[in-house]
Amino acid sequence: MSPPTLFQLAVKSLAQGIHEGKIPFDFNLDTKSSNAVFRELLKWDPKHFEKLKTHRNQLSKLTELDLRKCEIDKEGVLNLKNFKLHSLEFGILYRLKTKFPHAMNPNRIDIVCLLETVLNINSQKMIVHLGFHDMEECMNGWEENISKLFPSLQSIKIQYKEFNEQCHFSKLCNSFPNLRILDISYANGLSTLKGIKNIKSLQKLVMRDVRLDDRDGYKELSELKNLRVLDVSSGRRRNPIVGFRSLLESKVRIENLEFLDCSMTYVQEHELREFVEHHKALKTVVAISTACDNLSIPTIDLLNFVSPTSFGKCLKYAITNERDNLAVKCMKGISATLNTNYEQLNESEISEFLKILCYVLREAKDEETKHEAISCFASSDFFGTERFFSSCSLEIPGIVELVFKTWDNLKRPNRKFVAHRCVVSLFQRIVNFLRFGRILQNGLLSFIMDKTSSMYITETFTPYGDLYKDILMRANRFMSVDQYAAMCNNTTVIEGLFKLSHNLIQWNLSSHQQIMKLIVSYMNQASEDTLKFLVSNGQIVENCIEQIMMISQFPTKDSQNHLLHLLLVFSSVMSDEQLKKCYGGETVFSLLLIQHVEKPMSTNFQIN
C-alpha cells in the first residue's frame, strides 16, 4: 500500500487536533485545505457542521460540502449563502420540510425554491455537483428547473428515487444533457436506461443496487463514447443484485470503458472474463466478495482477495469511497486468511497484512470496519504464534497501542462494548507469550497493565474478571525491577486492582486472595503521596471495610490479613473521620476476630 502524502497527513493531524480541542481554529485556510480539513472534521463528528457558523472566516474559501450525515437547523442551511460552493451533497430532503414550509406545495418539496433560498447567485452559477436523497418528494418538473438554475451542473446524485409514470428516467437524461457524472444508486422501478444516450458527455455512471426489469435495458450504454467508469455493484449484504448476466446478454460494448465495479454481485468467473474480452480499454475491475475472489486476469488490475497486495487495494478503495460494506467484507477475508492459511504466507505477505490492518485502524471511519480489525488481532490464530512474536517484535508495541487507541475512540456504546473483549483478549495474548521466557520491549507490559486497569475502572459493566486478573498477575510477574518500582505508584493500576478485588470477592475468593496479595506488595513500596491519593478516593477505603465484613465469616484468613494490612498502611494518611469509620463499631469487632484467630501481619507503618 502506498503511504499517504505529507498533505494528507497534515490534514488528518490538523483535523484531529481541532476535533480534540488541542489546536485553536484561529487561522484561515485556502480552498484546498478548507475542503480537505472540513471533510475530515465531518468524518470525526458530523456536529462539526456548526463550525461553518462559528468559523466562517477561517473556512471562507470552502467550495465542497457533504451534509449527508449532518443534522442541520434552518440557520445552518441559510448560512450556506456565505460560501461559494462548487459541490453540495444535501442528503435526505425530507429533513428540510419543516424548516422551509414555503417550499412545500402541499406535500411536495419545491427543490428550486429551496435551493434559491439557501444558495447565493455565485454558487448557483458555479455548482458542478448536486446530491439528494428522496427525490420522489419533489414537485413534478424539478429536473428541467434545476438544469436552468444551475447552468454549470456536471454531476448529479439522486439516490432512493422511485421512477414511475410521473418521473421518467428519459426525462432526467433529457434535462441534464451536459452531465459528466450520474449516480442513480438504489433506484426502484427502473426498467431501462433508455434516454441515457442523450448524455453524450457522461464519463461516470453509478447504478449500485439497480435492477433493470428489461433485459435489453443496458443497450444504450454502447453509445456513450466518453463513459470511463461504470459501477453496477451491490451494497446489500443479503439478496445482492443479479444483473451482470443481463449486462452481457445486452451485448453492450462500451468503447472507452476503463473502470468497472461489480462487487458483491453474482458475477461468475467466465462472465467477467467475457466482459473483459469485449472491453479492450478496461484497466481496473473491482470484484470484491464475488465468485471471482481468487481470479487473476493478466490484462487488468483486478481488485479481489487473491493476494495481500490486492487485499490492500480493495480496502483502500472501499475506505476512500466510503463503501463500508465492502470494507467489512475485506476485513473478514483478511481475518479468515490469518486464521487458517497464515502458514502459506511469506514474510513480505505477512508484513503487507500488518500494514493493511494498521491502515484500517488509522483511516477507517466506519466503526464496524474498525471493530473487524481489532477482532482480527484478538482472534486470528496467527497473532498467537511464535512466528508473530519473533518476526514482528519491533511492531508489537505500536500495534498494541494503536488497537487500544482505536477502541478508546469508538463512539457507539454497543460497538465499544463488543470490541472491549477483543482488546482484553489481545492483551492476554501478549502476556501469555511471556510464559515461554520471552522478553518484550520496556514499557509494553506497563502499558498493558495501565490500560487493562483503566478499562476495568471506566467500564460500567466489566465482565471477564478472571481474564483481567490473569493479565495483571502475569504482567506483574515478568516486569523488570524498575518497572515494578514504577508500578507501586501507578494509581490507575492500583485503583483497577482494588475494583477488581471488590468484584472478585463476591464469586471467586481464590482470585480475590491473589489480587489482594499483589495490592499489598505494591502498598509496601508506595510513596506517601500515592497513599494519600488512594485514600482521597473514599470508595477504596469503603470497599476495604465492606470486604472485611464480608470475609470475616470465611474459614481462610489470608484475605482478611491482607485487608487488615491495607488499613494499617492507609491509617497513616487517613482523616479522623475515616479512622473512626475503620476502627469503630462492627469493623473493629471483625478486626479483633481476625486477630484472635491469627496473629496480625507485621508492618512497618504506625497507626497515628
Q: Is residue 285 part of a domain?
A: yes
- Cell triple for residue 207? 447504478
Looking at the DSSP assignment, which residues form a beta bridge with residue 81? Answer: none
If we measure between CA atoms, which residue out of 329, 332, 340 comes closest to residue 290?
329
pLDDT 10s digits, 329-385: 999 999 999 998 899 999 999 999 999 999 999 989 899 999 999 999 999 999 999
Contact between residue 541 and residue 574 where contact means Cβ atoms under 8 Å apart: yes
Distance in angstroms (rounded) separating the CA atoms of residues 386 and 522: 32
Q: Is residue 486 part of a domain?
A: no
Q: Is residue 584 part of a domain?
A: no
Q: Are strands 181-183 and 129-133 parallel, antiparallel or unpaired?
A: unpaired
What is the per-residue DSSP string for 419-431? Answer: HHHHHHHHHHHHH
If we measure between CA atoms, which residue out of 435, 362, 349 comes closest to residue 392?
349
Contact between residue 508 and residue 468 where contact means Cβ atoms under 8 Å apart: no
**Residue in this structure with the C-alpha cell 460494448, named with its chain if needed:** 253
- Cell triple for residue 229? 467508469
Between 19 and 588, the more confident residue is 19
- Cell triple for residue 471? 493479565
pLDDT 10s digits, 482-494: 888 888 999 889 8
Q: Is residue 284 part of a domain?
A: yes
At CA 572, angle to CA 569 and CA 575, rounded to 5?
A: 120
pLDDT higher than threshold 70 for residue 301? yes
pLDDT of residue 190: 82
Contact between residue 159 and residue 132 where contact means Cβ atoms under 8 Å apart: yes
**Residue in this structure with the C-alpha cell 488528518, named with its chain if needed:** 12
pLDDT higher than threshold 80 for residue 165? no
Q: Is residue 246 part of a domain?
A: yes
Looking at the DSSP assignment, which residues form a beta bridge with residue 230? Answer: 205, 260
Contact between residue 127 and residue 85 where contact means Cβ atoms under 8 Å apart: yes
**pLDDT level of residue 454 (50, 70, 90 thresholds):** confident
Q: In the predicted model, what is the mean pLDDT of residues 577-605?
A: 53
Strands of the 301-303 sheet, one edge to the other: 64-66, 87-92, 129-133, 155-159, 181-183, 204-206, 229-231, 259-261, 284-286, 301-303
Q: Is residue 245 part of a domain?
A: yes
**pLDDT level of residue 557 (50, 70, 90 thresholds):** low
**Residue in this structure with the C-alpha cell 475530515, named with its chain if needed:** 40
Distance in angstroms (rounded) separating the CA atoms of residues 206 and 262: 11
Distance in angstroms (rounded) separating the CA atoms of residues 375 and 251: 44
Distance in angstroms (rounded) separating the CA atoms of residues 171 and 30: 39
End-to-end CA distance of the chain: 65
**pLDDT level of residue 598 (50, 70, 90 thresholds):** very low
Q: Is residue 273 part of a domain?
A: yes
Task: State the CB neighbour count (10 A cutoff) for residue 177.
Answer: 12
**pLDDT level of residue 77 (50, 70, 90 thresholds):** confident
Distance in angstroms (rounded) separating the CA atoms of residues 431 and 448: 9
At CA 182, angle to CA 179 and CA 183, rounded to 5?
A: 160
**498 Cα distance to chain centroid:** 32
pLDDT of residue 601: 41
Distance in angstroms (rounded) separating the CA atoms of residues 137 and 93: 8
| Per-chain mean pLDDT for the chain | 83
Task: State the CB neighbour count (10 A cutoff) for residue 213.
Answer: 10
Q: Is residue 216 part of a domain?
A: yes
Number of domains in the chain: 1
If we measure between CA atoms, which residue out of 324, 304, 432 comes closest to residue 378?
432
Looking at the DSSP assignment, which residues form a beta bridge with residue 183? Answer: 157, 206
Contact between residue 484 and residue 476 where contact means Cβ atoms under 8 Å apart: yes
- CATH code for the domain in which residue 197 is found: 3.80.10.10
Which range has the worst mean pLDDT, 86-100, 368-382, 422-436, 553-567? 553-567
Contact between residue 91 and residue 42 where contact means Cβ atoms under 8 Å apart: no
pLDDT higher than threshold 50 for residue 596? no
Full residue range of the structural domain in which residue 242 is found: 184-304
pLDDT higher than threshold 80 for residue 410? yes
Q: In the predicted model, what is the mean pLDDT of residues 80-109?
A: 73
**Residue in this structure with the C-alpha cell 470486604, named with its chain if needed:** 547
pLDDT 10s digits, 216-251: 888 999 999 999 999 999 876 555 555 678 888 888
Q: With H, G, I as helix, E, B as strand and everything else as coil, classify residue 243.
A: coil
